[in-house]
Amino acid sequence: MGIPFRQILRIGGYVVRQHLLGRRHYPLVLMLEPLFRCNLSCAGCGKIDYPDPILNRRLSLEDCLGAIDECGAPVVVLAGGEPLLHKELPQIVEGAVTRRKFVIICTNALLLEKKIHQYQPSPYFTWSIHLDGDKGMHDRSVCQPGVYDRAVAAIKLARAKGFRVTINCTLFKGTDPERVARFFDTVMELGVNGITVSPGYAYERAPDQQHFLNRKATKELFRSIFRLDQGGKRWVFNQSALFLDFLAGNQAYHCTPWGNPTRTIFGWQRPCYLLGEGYAKTYRELMEETDWEAYGTGHYEKCADCMVHSGYEASAVRDAVRRPWKAARVAWQGVTTRGPMVPDIPLGQQRPAQFTYSRNVTERLGEIADLKIGSEKGPTVT
């Protein structure tokens, strides 16, 4: 288990408290995206296809700490875009750690060596370095040679300086399970504290639409990978055992999009980290006014093939707290990799996809223009 005991205790206690308080919609992980700009253009990424005026925007330190306080989730993931491009990131991390949040920076690590002196090792702080497989797999995934070697050098440097380091690995169609198994062995030998793995989400704006996995292929791929390692027991995952069991087709979870609320430069994103179908001005508005039943597999066409951790890890954690014996069995015996899978959610009633990207971009560009006019007349708005 790659999740520190302190974190398990805090999150477990937090979930139990929410249940005792009778709360149905509560956050586990705040996904904080202080910018969309990135120094890579990955084929499977749907986050960076915005015009320059939007890519140039940043959430201020004040906005970020305000979002952390407003939301109250025990874990804060800083993503983007590439978060290390944000000049105030060290202060954002410091502010979150001071609030005793477990902070994770998701980075491609290209700037890590240059910026590592701005951060301090802490049991509350983790570098999560993007690595989609071995050298060939990762460099192809990020569309640039040499990135794997730089990320591995950054992992070694961060470990040598005493930081907690995990890798986050997104898998796509055509992945060779044997190669993934060897890659997981390699990162364990590098001394990482854990692996986070997930199938890619089929972003409609991603340049490469050919390599996204459907649900059936996802489950078969994960069974094939875990079969090479007694149900995944040799590797240390930074994820719940029941989420891994879900990826292998042994659990039929509904999505919990409110478990990982997302704050971006546009506001609080509806409904989740992956889909931007509208924005709320406040966290409260997001929670209270989002029609959560309209999303998730079986409800909405864009969610049909999603099995991403940002939607389902919270479902697995809630299940583990309600039925700890299930989680203990998977942790003890490993993920089941043979036999029938549980039936999946039927798709017959899902509503058709709505395409909101162009409207959203037009609205945001209009807001940016209004802000500029306002700032010429009065105080500066960042």
Q: Which residue is nearest to ligand SF4 (CB)?
A: 311
Q: How far is the CB of 215 from ligand SF4 (least distance, A)?
A: 11
CB 81 within 8 A of CB 35: yes
Of the candidate spans 40-48, 169-177, 206-214, 270-278, the one that interacts with ligand SF4 by CB under 6 A turns out to be 270-278
Site string for ligand SF4, 229-268 (x = CB under 6 A): --------------------------x-x-----------
Extended beta strands in the chain, E state: 29-32, 75-78, 102-107, 125-130, 164-171, 194-199, 262-264, 267-271, 276-280
CB 25 within 8 A of CB 188: no
Site string for ligand SF4, 309-348 (x = CB under 6 A): -xx-------------------------------------
Interface residue with ligand SF4, options 126, 297, 315, 336 (CB under 6 A): 297
Of the candidate spans 10-18, 55-63, 230-238, 301-309, the one that interacts with ligand SF4 by CB under 6 A turns out to be 301-309
Of the candidate spans 98-106, 219-227, 242-250, 271-279, the one that interacts with ligand SF4 by CB under 6 A turns out to be 271-279
CB 58 within 8 A of CB 265: yes
Tell me: does residue 303 bind ligand SF4 (CB under 6 A): yes
Q: How far is the CB of 203 from ligand SF4 (least distance, A)?
A: 10
Could you tell me whether strands 267-271 and 102-107 are parallel, antiparallel, or unpaired per DSSP bridges?
unpaired
DSSP letters spanning 53-94: HHHT----HHHHHHHHHHH--SEEEE-SS-GGG-TTHHHHHH
Q: How far is the CB of 300 from ligand SF4 (least distance, A)?
A: 6
**Beta-carbon contacts of residue 218 (< 8 Å; ≥ 6 apart):** 199, 247, 305, 307
Q: Which is nearer to ligand SF4, 27 or 95 (CB)?
A: 27
| Per-residue DSSP letter, 164 | E
CB 55 within 8 A of CB 8: no
# residues near ligand SF4 by CB under 6 A: 14
Of the candidate spans 2-10, 73-81, 295-303, 322-330, the one that interacts with ligand SF4 by CB under 6 A turns out to be 295-303
Positions that interact with ligand SF4 (CB under 6 A): 255, 257, 271-272, 274-275, 295-297, 303, 306, 308, 310-311
